[in-house]
């Protein structure tokens, strides 16, 4: 049978990261491509014990639950958010199937096809997929290592009147950059003044290498300084516990949460009750903050290891900004080098990465690449960096 697919699907590109992950399965390839946490750091025993407690507590873990999410988990998350300066109640929160679903549902309830949204340049590639699927026009504001440039944001807000701004202010994907306090305040001022919502995506914010560093969320700053209610905050357990539990959350004005619940009912009724109750048990009986420190320290070591190895290769024209947290190194390759073409050579050498073009809404910098440093360490990282350097040298020699 010949299927007639929806016209909107022709606009949606396949995920570059997922395609590369398929390419590397079962092969002797060192992958710096996927945003994969370190499996050896998963709290396996703690999750097992939490699952046992959830099952032992009765049959509710196997039953349908509230669309908004398991109430005890939302209450526990409100306590955790208060530690970040975010004072919220359970009715201002919804549990989602990963933070990716939160983004998708927010697009459904806030936009119509043809609307404009504003993003960082570059930005998270999976959000671009969602925007394409819903027929949105994407406008990108210039950014640097300190965050979105306020003057450009204000200009674009005035010109395009976007339905919302999407941003990852803390250890962004793909750049790893963290917005300065001044930039956070300026962007909030602009959005509050123009009544433009901000979707603050914060999957990496707790993965900071300096435990004493303070990076206030936009949501917290808005509550403390503006009180505008323009920020809708999303986060996830994927990076601090395990991705397979597929549990994220969104926080915002109760009007927004009620609309998200309607959209979620149509999407999947609710997120997994079992996963939510496992996480609730984990939060009650497991020192999650200590675990996050262990993860963050390990990731900081892996980041420094990768940096040291790349520096030792002495490749002229290679630049990056050292991240202060998160999972990625954003690399600017030698001028004129096309990262997509380089990837083909790199894979033949046994190493993979994500070409930077995937993270731009338009007009990409083709000599950029995202390297993940959290999934590998030691010999694998040494081998992968050596293979990448060999590919760069061979490619530049051909050029």
- For 178-203, the pLDDT digits (tens) are 999 999 999 999 999 999 999 999 99
Distance, CA of 181 to CA of 170 (rounded, Å): 11
Question: CA 9, 10, 11, 12 torsion: positive or negative?
Answer: positive
Q: 140 - beta bridge partners? A: 119
Q: Are residue 122 and residue 201 in the same domain, yes or no? A: yes
What mean pLDDT do residues 8-17 have? 64
3-class DSSP state of 259:
helix
Domain end point (choices 285, 310, 338)? 285
The CATH code of the domain that includes 270 is 3.40.640.10
Q: Are residue 275 and residue 308 in the same domain, yes or no? A: no
Q: Are residue 119 and residue 214 in the same domain, yes or no? A: yes
Q: Is residue 55 part of a domain?
A: no
Model pLDDT, residue 6: 74
In this prediction, residue 399 has a pLDDT band, given cuts at 50, 70 and 90, of low
Q: Is residue 125 part of a domain?
A: yes
Q: Is residue 51 part of a domain?
A: no
Q: Are residue 100 and residue 190 in the same domain, yes or no? A: yes
Q: Are residue 226 and residue 159 in the same domain, yes or no? A: yes
Model pLDDT, residue 397: 76
Give yes or no for residue 44 having a pLDDT over 90: yes
Model pLDDT, residue 14: 62
Q: Are residue 281 and residue 343 in the same domain, yes or no? A: no
Q: Are residue 146 and residue 20 in the same domain, yes or no? A: no
Distance, CA of 310 to CA of 320 (rounded, Å): 10
Q: Are residue 387 and residue 357 in the same domain, yes or no? A: yes
Domain end point (choices 263, 285, 307)? 285
Specify whether the CB–CB gap between 235 and 101 falls below 8 A. Answer: no
Specify whether the CB–CB gap between 45 and 280 falls below 8 A. Answer: no
Q: Is residue 52 part of a domain?
A: no
Q: Is residue 49 part of a domain?
A: no
Q: Are residue 38 and residue 162 in the same domain, yes or no? A: no
Domain end point (choices 223, 255, 285)? 285
Q: H-helix or E-strand containing 232? A: strand 231-236
Q: What's the number of domains the chain is made of?
A: 2
Model pLDDT, residue 21: 59
Model pLDDT, residue 4: 77
pLDDT per residue as tens digits for the range 266-275: 999 999 999 9
Query: Does the global pTM surpass 0.75?
Result: yes
Distances (CA, A) of 333 to 53, 106, 118, 339, 368: 50, 35, 27, 8, 6
Q: Is residue 53 part of a domain?
A: no
Q: Are residue 269 and residue 311 in the same domain, yes or no? A: no
What mean pLDDT do residues 202-206 have? 98
Distance, CA of 241 to CA of 237 (rounded, Å): 5
The CATH code of the domain that includes 28 is 3.90.1150.10
Q: H-helix or E-strand containing 44? A: helix 44-56
Supply the range of the domain harboring residue 131: 63-285
Q: Are residue 383 and residue 254 in the same domain, yes or no? A: no
Q: Are residue 112 and residue 185 in the same domain, yes or no? A: yes
Q: Is residue 47 part of a domain?
A: no
What mean pLDDT do residues 75-81 have? 98
Model pLDDT, residue 12: 64
């Amino acid at each position: 049978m010949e299927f007639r697919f929806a016209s909107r699907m022709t606009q949606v590109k396949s995920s570059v990261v997922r395609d590369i992950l398929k390419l590397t399965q079962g092969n002797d390839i060192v992958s710096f491509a996927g945003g994969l946490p370190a499996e050896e750091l998963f709290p396996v025993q703690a999750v097992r014990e939490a699952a046992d407690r959830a099952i032992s507590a009765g049959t509710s873990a196997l039953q349908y639950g509230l669309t908004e999410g398991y109430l005890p988990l939302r209450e526990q998350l409100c306590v955790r958010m208060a530690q970040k300066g975010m004072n919220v109640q359970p009715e201002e929160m919804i549990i989602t199937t990963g933070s990716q679903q939160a983004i998708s549902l927010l697009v459904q309830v806030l936009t119509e096809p043809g609307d404009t949204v504003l993003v960082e340049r570059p930005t998270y590639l999976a959000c671009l997929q969602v925007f394409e699927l819903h027929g949105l026009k994407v406008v990108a504001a210039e950014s640097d290592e300190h965050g979105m440039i306020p003057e450009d944001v204000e200009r674009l807000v005035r010109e395009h009147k976007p339905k919302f701004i999407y941003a990852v202010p803390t250890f962004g994907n793909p750049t790893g950059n963290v917005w300065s306090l001044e930039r956070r305040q300026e962007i909030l001022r602009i959005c509050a003044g123009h009544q433009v919502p901000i979707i603050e995506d914060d999957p990496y914010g707790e993965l900071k290498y300096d435990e004493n560093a303070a990076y206030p969320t936009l949501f917290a700053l808005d509550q403390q300084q503006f009180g505008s209610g323009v920020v809708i905050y999303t986060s996830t357990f994927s990076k601090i516990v395990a991705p397979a539990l597929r549990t994220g959350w969104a926080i915002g004005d109760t009007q927004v949460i009620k609309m998200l619940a309607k959209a979620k009912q149509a999407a999947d009724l609710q997120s997994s009750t079992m996963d939510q109750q496992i996480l609730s048990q984990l939060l009650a009986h497991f020192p999650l903050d200590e675990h996050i420190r262990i993860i963050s320290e390990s990731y900081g070591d892996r980041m420094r290891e990768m940096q040291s190895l790349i520096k030792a290769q002495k490749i002229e024209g290679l630049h990056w900004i050292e991240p202060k947290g998160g999972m990625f190194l954003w690399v600017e390759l030698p001028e004129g080098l096309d990262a997509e073409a380089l990837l083909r050579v790199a894979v033949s050498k046994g190493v993979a990465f994500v070409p930077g073009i995937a993270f731009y809404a338009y007009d990409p910098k083709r000599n950029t690449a995202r390297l993940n440093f959290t999934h590998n360490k030691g010999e694998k990282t040494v081998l992968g960096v050596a293979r990448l350097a060999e590919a760069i040298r061979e490619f530049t020699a051909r050029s």
